[in-house]
Chain A
């Protein structure tokens, strides 16, 4: 219990908890053949994170940054015989600055996205990204995961919405990255690699987001067909239309969750003034030669929730990407795995499937097939460590640069080096 004992010299005992009290981490570790953390530390300020990481770095104690930990992939995370602790951001919470007129909000990394969303909605603003389980996740967790969803089509990736961060490097150096203005970077843009670094570069302690005015009209359209493949042509046509929807997904989510009926839908979302959205819908319908069904406001929330989840709760969840023009081939490779849930963002060329089971052999074969298309595969969720290790890796040259970048942020290798 070296970690627990000495962490107490940095934080009061009241802010150290047993590892098994952290529900998300316990679930993530269940069944994994890794040594357990000695404690979970709950710092309340960036300065306390600095002290913790300085101590960990000096003592050679590993640190796993934790938000909800529901999305922790612990593949090969534990190092043989190494003592480690979790550093939770659940007390780094609260909105620090919300400048509604400037459309920016800064909040602690542990702040639930639901809190941020509520504050923004009071001013008819919102943060336009829609990864699975958005509202139950923390702001820092979303940034750390570079979580995105179909709204990427209209609003860009999450990295485009993050204006600034405060982070603490592996050896305890606090850094302010970016700022509170839209054009925010003076010097190299360290926000970009930090977004999506999954705790491998630093512990994120606060995040500044760009907010957007709520659209006057948020219309969801669907087009049904018996199979997903029938909808890819329509989706690609939407992608070449002279209007830009904010999202365009081929999914099975439009059928009721308890229905066994086969079927797939193209789900298209349009934002703007009502007259603009009316015109955009007509333009799209003319362009693809089919009429959409308009989803009612009552149906919309449930449908978008399922579109967003895209297999996130399945025992195995895989993400695969290819150029949009190769979606048909990508889908054939994925469909061979008999998915129980799927959503394919046709603009990004990004597919996400839920599977009831998978083996290393099938995931490796899928990865090989998708890489032959020029694409890539990521294991989002899997029950075993050997599965979580699979998927596309950076090239050797990229990996070399990533390793050097990690060394620059975390020279002692305190933060989990095997988590990417």
Chain B
């Protein structure tokens, strides 16, 4: 149970952001109890919604002076519990910081506040023939600030790279309300360390980004989208390796497995994929109109050589959206199958995909769990989705054990425990799979460089120095915490 904030502090916060932007009503706080990883729920002491860098700085100063933890929050779409409140803390949300501050077409730069929705930035830059490349699946709702915190990717980051490639400068609010500017596109010749790059992906543990300068790209003149249908996941995996190995550079290569196809086709999101097949591969090329057909022909040949049953090619934007629907609506469709879904996230070397997928299937069978796979195959970023019912304690425990098995598997083949969702609270217990104690200690030291008192987003990313076994309960422990 969270303790209410002292009335004096509430009044001081209201004095900064306005009375309506400090939320202490327990009913209204329910909306902030979790992010996209709903298995974890903790009610914060309050939520504060500043509108500017100055307001964020003054809010953080007030809270840190009182020794109160600050949990930054964007749209709350994260899938690793990175915006999970702490019972002793206050959530600082960026929902009101939703302005595109500048667009400079000649420099191909834009500066935004952190609460700007990812897709809205591209809408704002489209009239200049420019767009913002990172496109997480939640791009119609997630915010740029959240993308910076998680170093988000998306289907098209295979060709274009993840958020860190596009963030050229930041204004951040650090411990105690200190405002610091990092980098800037104009200052690339300056000496010093890449603090911008370090801050991106820090999951709210260093501070809050309040202004973000990003690089923009020209909108591609053309696009070609293919759908390959395969009898086996292995064949689809080989097609991916052949496409990339042939020198082609698709914008996106996504795999949808049998279980997911069947879930989608049985739902209101039915995309017209054939059922009873092993896997579907969505391949997309973009760029100059001339040459796209040649690239698509070569990719089609790779698919057929790998044993594709058929390859479809979109001939209109409507058809293109149809081919993508099975991928984009996969998570929504799974709601029909089970009440809860754990969207896992890990990365493996691309050539190990067929082997890893077979072993994930075996792990599902061993733990009697249904696991559906949708993932960014081009860069080996897996999303095994474990379907379960949180009210079934036994099943919940099996989910936890199976998750760890999957993470161990991915690490054992040279991969890592997260591709684009971050560590948050969900993966903290797995950090010892990829880092030894010396490396974990280095991460803790780095955190203290920015936040000496540990008041920004505590309990995220890096396990405490205590034995990791205390954290291994994962989801189950979180639910117990909520229950108590």
Is A325 a contact of B107 with CB atoms below 8 Å?
Answer: yes
Query: A166-187 vs B: 1/0 string, CB under 8 Å?
Result: 0001000111100111111111
Min C-beta distance of A310 to chain B, whole Å: 13
When the two chains form the complex, which single residue of A189, A214, A216, A242 contacts B218, counting CB atoms closer than 8 Å? A242
Is B381 a contact of A183 with CB atoms below 8 Å?
Answer: yes
Is A156 a contact of B161 with CB atoms below 8 Å?
Answer: yes
User: A189-B197, A279-B289 in contact; A240/B349 too (CB < 8 A)?
Assistant: no
CA distance A382 to B480 in the complex (A): 64
Is B418 a contact of A186 with CB atoms below 8 Å?
Answer: yes
Of A38-46, A257-265, A398-406, the stretch lying at the interface with chain B is A398-406
B98 at the interface (CB under 8 A from A): no
Of A5-13, A16-24, A108-116, A193-201, the stretch lying at the interface with chain B is A193-201
Of B29-37, B56-64, B178-186, B224-232, the stretch lying at the interface with chain A is B178-186
User: A348-B188, A373-B186 in contact; A276/B414 too (CB < 8 A)?
Assistant: no
When the two chains form the complex, which single residue of A182, A185, A394, A401 contacts B380, counting CB atoms closer than 8 Å? A182
Of B42-50, B84-92, B319-327, B441-449, the stretch lying at the interface with chain A is B441-449
For A181, give the chain B residue with the smallest CB separation.
Answer: B347
Is B151 a contact of A190 with CB atoms below 8 Å?
Answer: no
User: A175-B442, A189-B197 in contact; A395/B186 too (CB < 8 A)?
Assistant: no
Q: In chain A, residues 364-420, which have Cβ atoms closer than 8 Å to a Cβ of chain B?
A: 373-378, 391-395, 397-399, 401-402, 404-405, 408-409, 420
A120 at the interface (CB under 8 A from B): no
Is B187 a contact of A375 with CB atoms below 8 Å?
Answer: yes
When the two chains form the complex, which single residue of A100, A173, A195, A273 contacts B294, counting CB atoms closer than 8 Å? A273
Is B198 a contact of A188 with CB atoms below 8 Å?
Answer: yes
When the two chains form the complex, which single residue of A190, A276, A322, A378 contacts B290, counting CB atoms closer than 8 Å? A276
Q: How many residues of A contact B (CB 8 A)?
A: 91
Is B449 a contact of A404 with CB atoms below 8 Å?
Answer: yes
CA distance A191 to B193 in the complex (A): 11
A236 at the interface (CB under 8 A from B): yes
CA distance A249 to B371 in the complex (A): 51
Q: How many residues of B contact A (CB 8 A)?
A: 88
Is B438 a contact of A321 with CB atoms below 8 Å?
Answer: no
Min C-beta distance of A370 to chain B, whole Å: 8
Is B288 a contact of A243 with CB atoms below 8 Å?
Answer: yes
Is B104 a contact of A216 with CB atoms below 8 Å?
Answer: no
Is B180 a contact of A401 with CB atoms below 8 Å?
Answer: yes
CA distance A201 to B198 in the complex (A): 14
Query: B175-206 vs A: 1/0 string, CB under 8 Å?
Result: 00010111011111111111111101110010
CA distance A405 to B442 in the complex (A): 10
User: A175-B442, A397-B180 in contact; A378/B190 too (CB < 8 A)?
Assistant: yes
Query: A144-172 vs B: 1/0 string, CB under 8 Å?
Result: 00100000000011011000000001000
CA distance A236 to B417 in the complex (A): 42
When the two chains form the complex, which single residue of B180, B197, B349, B434 contacts A104, counting CB atoms closer than 8 Å? B349
B255 at the interface (CB under 8 A from A): no
B385 at the interface (CB under 8 A from A): no
A326 at the interface (CB under 8 A from B): yes
Please indicate the chain A residues that have their CB under 8 angstroms from the CB of B447 in the complex.
188
A300 at the interface (CB under 8 A from B): no
Is B107 a contact of A323 with CB atoms below 8 Å?
Answer: yes
Q: In chain B, residues 247-268, which have Cβ atoms closer than 8 Å to a Cβ of chain A?
A: 247-249
Is B165 a contact of A323 with CB atoms below 8 Å?
Answer: no
CA distance A324 to B450 in the complex (A): 32
B435 at the interface (CB under 8 A from A): yes
CA distance A392 to B186 in the complex (A): 12
Please indicate the chain B residues that have their CB under 8 angstroms from the CB of A273 in the complex.
291, 294-295
For A278, give the chain B residue with the smallest CB separation.
Answer: B290
Is B109 a contact of A179 with CB atoms below 8 Å?
Answer: no
Of B114-122, B276-284, B419-427, the stretch lying at the interface with chain A is B419-427
Is B288 a contact of A197 with CB atoms below 8 Å?
Answer: no
Is A213 a contact of B249 with CB atoms below 8 Å?
Answer: yes
When the two chains form the complex, which single residue of B162, B165, B221 contacts A183, counting CB atoms closer than 8 Å? B162
Query: B430-467 vs A: 1/0 string, CB under 8 Å?
Result: 01001100111011011111100000000001100000
Q: In chain A, residues 314-350, which have Cβ atoms closer than 8 Å to a Cβ of chain B?
A: 319-326, 347-350
A130 at the interface (CB under 8 A from B): no
B366 at the interface (CB under 8 A from A): no
Please indicate the chain B residues that have their CB under 8 angstroms from the CB of A377 in the complex.
189
7 further contact pairs, Cβ within 8 A, besides A183-B420, A283-B221: A99-B349, A173-B442, A188-B446, A193-B194, A391-B190, A399-B192, A401-B180
Show 15 A/B contacts (Cβ-Cβ < 8 Å), sorted by A. A159-B197, A183-B347, A184-B416, A188-B205, A189-B164, A193-B195, A196-B193, A197-B193, A239-B106, A324-B106, A326-B186, A350-B188, A373-B186, A398-B182, A408-B446
Interface pairs A-B: 6 shortest CB-CB: A192-B197, A276-B291, A213-B247, A279-B290, A376-B190, A321-B189
